Amino acid sequence: QEKKDLTGKKVLLTAGPTYERIDPVRFIGNYSTGKMGFALAEEFAARGAEVILIAGPVNLKTISAAIRRVDVVSAGEMFEQVMQFADQCDIVVSCAAVADFTPKEKSGTKIKRGKMDLNLELQPTQDIAAELGRRKKAGQLLIGFALETDDEACNAVLKLRKKNLDLIVLNSLRDKGAGFGGDTNKVTVIDRKEQQFAYDLKSKQEVATDIVDR
With binding defined as CB under 6 A, does residue 89 bind ligand C5P? no
With binding defined as CB under 6 A, does residue 102 bind ligand C5P? no
Among 35, 47, 136, 159, binds ligand C5P (CB under 6 A): 159
For CA atoms 20, 26, 28, 29, the dihedral sign is positive
With binding defined as CB under 6 A, does residue 54 bind ligand C5P? no
* Closest CB to ligand C5P among residues 3, 174: 174
Among 32, 81, 94, 188, binds ligand C5P (CB under 6 A): 94
Q: Candidates 57-65, 107-115, 144-152, 196-204 — which segment interacts with ligand C5P by CB under 6 A?
A: 144-152
- Answer yes or no: 30 catalytic: yes
Angle ∠(141,174,132) on CA atoms, nearest 5: 20
Q: Candidates 19-27, 96-104, 105-113, 171-179 — which segment interacts with ligand C5P by CB under 6 A?
A: 96-104
How many Cβ atoms from other residues are within 10 Å of residue 184's Cβ?
18
Q: Least CB distance from residue 42 to ligand C5P, whole Å?
A: 18
Would you call 194 helix, strand, or coil by DSSP? coil
Question: Is 163 annotated as ligand-binding?
Answer: yes
SS (H, E, C) 60-100: CCCCCCCEEEEECCCHHHHHHHHHHHHHHCCEEEECCECCC
With binding defined as CB under 6 A, does residue 96 bind ligand C5P? yes
With binding defined as CB under 6 A, does residue 125 bind ligand C5P? yes
Burial (0-12, 13-18, 19+ Cβ within 10 Å), 198: exposed
Largest Cα–Cα distance in the chain? 62
For CA atoms 186, 173, 34, 166, the dihedral sign is positive
With binding defined as CB under 6 A, does residue 146 bind ligand C5P? yes
Q: Least CB distance from residue 187 to ligand C5P, whole Å?
A: 12
With binding defined as CB under 6 A, does residue 152 bind ligand C5P? no
Residues annotated as catalytic are 30
